């Protein structure tokens, strides 16, 4: 899906737990997620902490989307 959408000219950020798979399939902007059963959250955190975590992931993704890349890039921070 990542590749097909990019082929249509729309940049994509892939938020993904298993970064190596994302690299293998050819995503260009990759944001590491939390864990396979809960990529965008962490049920072991409290409600407020989890909201902060989710917000930070989304912010990171939006930042990645607006960043120029010259090749496959993993946005660690």
How far is the first Cα of the chain from the last one, in angstroms, to the nearest whole number? 24
Helices (H), 1-77: 2-7, 19-25, 47-65
Q: Does 20 bind another protein (CB under 8 A)?
A: yes
Residue in 8, 36, 43, 77 binding another protein, rule: CB under 8 A? 36
Q: Nearest distance from residue 13's CB to another protein, in Å?
A: 17
Q: Which is nearer to another protein, 11 or 50 (CB)?
A: 50
Q: Which is nearer to another protein, 11 or 53 (CB)?
A: 53
């Amino acid at each position: 899906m990542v590749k097909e959408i990019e082929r249509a000219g729309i940049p994509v950020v892939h938020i993904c737990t298993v970064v190596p798979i994302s690299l293998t399939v050819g995503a260009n902007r990759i944001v590491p997620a939390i864990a396979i059963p809960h990529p965008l959250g962490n049920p072991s955190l409290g409600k407020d902490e989890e909201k902060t975590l989710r917000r930070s992931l989304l912010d990171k993704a939006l930042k990645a989307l607006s960043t120029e890349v010259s090749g496959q890039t993993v946005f660690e921070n």
